[in-house]
A and B are shown apart, each in its own frame.
Chain A
Amino acid sequence: MYSGPVIDCDVHHARSTDAELIPYLSRGWREYVTDRGRAGNVPLTVQDGFPNPHGFMRADTYPEGGGEPGSDYPTMRAQLLDPRDVRRAILTFGDDSHLAGHHNPYFASELARACNDWSIDRWLAQDPRLLSSIMVASQLPDLAAAEVRRHAANPRMVQVMLVDNPFNYGFGHPVFHPIYAAAEETGRPVAIHGGAGGWANPPSTGGGSVNTYFETHVLWPQAIQTHLVSFIAHGVFEKYPGLRLVLVEGGSAWIPSLLWRFDTEFKGLRREVPWLKRLPSEYFAEHVWVSSQPLEISPKRENIIDLIRSMQLEDKLVYSSDYPHWDADEIEYLSNRLPGEWHSRLFFENACRLYGWKADELDKPSAVAETVK
């Protein structure tokens, strides 16, 4: 099993109650959410989605002292950060990650601002290994870009995260470009996280909406595929040549077939997108990274290895646990499924390249422990 340094690129930190986030809202928005008389508060999270009959969390991640999985730092530390040589863990929010699914764009923008401040205050302050995504309300891209720039000077706010899609076009559409301009300018990758199904305004499955969590989870890669194709076709990487994109929680086995098809279609349909100067797969190779979870379980171990190798994805895969969610991937499990010669890249080096970190500058656990004390 791999025992070297680890960067975990998808760790869901959560809050147990709305009351935890309300102090981070502006006075006006605090008034808006709380002044409801007997009807109660306005809920801060998007009220939609499919139930998972087992629940969405690993049963053993509920903190002993109560609260939601992912909401308690000591529990996360004991279960995720300390048992392995975890050098960095990138926080990706819980239900708040779906704030772009809110119908009210002004409320969503304020929630994004509040979530980011909550993340800095309640989490980053506790452990230097923790880093946070910058949540943005893509409903209002100019405000989202301003939110990205607000964190420009904080190196621990490491990426811009998109999940739900407020509009009916893929994330490559020019309406979203102010966000990418800010991401490129501030040197932050854009992370598209899977899971907008059910919570998003448009269906995130091709051909129609689905009816069970089972279906939506099987089809999770579809929305990511749409966004990836949209990003490349609209020339986002021509317009923002310094931009990096990471696809989170969409799996990876589908990437070769999509890129093969993408390149072939480009040969016949280039006239529609003549601003593209290279094959789609070449943009992918330069600009796109992929998180490992959930690694598809192929009938034979070598099937998934062959697929990954066919597009040199072993240089683009970054480890993600998805803790504390029910479908998380363990380091030991991935170590056994993927070749040993990939491990240092998968668990550590690829993420260093993606986020622009020097491997020897990342703290060792002993240094972290000192800091935390």
Chain B
Amino acid sequence: MAGDHEIGVLRWQDRFFAVHNRCPHQKGPLCLGVVSGRLHGSVPGSMEVDDETPVIACPWHGWEFDLERGSALWEDGYAVKVVPVSIEDGRVLLEVGKGAKSQ
């Protein structure tokens, strides 16, 4: 908790991310969703994974968000609020209050 906000810290491979636990769509508990590399298809019918771009899918409606930027995969301007993360001496530090605004 940070004030009134629930923030989830998520690990993808060796990277850490922090996002508000509130999907901008219908306020679902976003951090209960599955994290994966972003799926993409270079041509119709192909299924590829971009591990450099982790995404989280809301457990309610499956809407996916880029964990690093917070933006939805279909529209940059639609986003979940993310919190900058840094690692110091093995500790994960969150820079609360500096993230992008949730919509």
Contact = CB atoms under 8 A, between A and B. Distances in A.
Q: Which of B43, B44, B47 is packed against the most chain A CB atoms within 10 Å?
A: B44
Contact of A239 (B25, B43, B74): B43
A167 interface: no
Interface stretch (B9-17, B60-68, B82-90): B60-68
B61 A275 contact: no
For chain B, which range describes its interface: under 10, 10 to 19, 20 to 34, or 35 or more residues? 20 to 34
Given A267-B61, A268-B62, A275 B43 contact: yes
B64 A270 contact: yes
A263 to B, nearest CB: 8
A235 interface: yes
Contact of B44 (A270, A271, A275, A279): A275
A274 interface: yes
B92 interface: no
A74 interface: no
Interface string A237-252: 0110000000000000
For chain A, which range describes its interface: under 10, 10 to 19, 20 to 34, or 35 or more residues? 10 to 19
Contact of A271 (B45, B46, B64, B75): B64
Contact of B63 (A174, A236, A268, A274): A268
Contact of A274 (B47, B57, B72, B75): B47
Nearest to A271: B39
Nearest to A264: B61
Contact of B41 (A174, A236, A274, A279): A274
B25 to A, nearest CB: 8
A174 B45 contact: yes
B103 to A, nearest CB: 14
B73 A235 contact: no
A271 B64 CA distance: 9
A234 interface: yes
A275 B42 contact: yes
A118 interface: no
A24 interface: no
Interface string A254-292: 000000000000111111011100110000000000000
12 contacts: A174-B44, A235-B45, A236-B44, A239-B44, A266-B74, A267-B64, A268-B63, A270-B39, A270-B64, A271-B39, A278-B74, A279-B75
Interface of B: 25, 38-48, 57, 61-64, 72-75
Given A236-B44, A267-B64, A274-B38, 13 more contacts: A174-B44, A235-B45, A238-B44, A239-B44, A267-B25, A268-B61, A270-B39, A270-B64, A271-B57, A273-B41, A274-B40, A275-B42, A279-B75
Lowest 7 A-B CB distances belong to which pairs? Answer: A235-B44, A275-B41, A268-B62, A274-B39, A275-B44, A274-B41, A268-B61
Interface of A: 174, 234-236, 238-239, 266-271, 273-275, 278-279
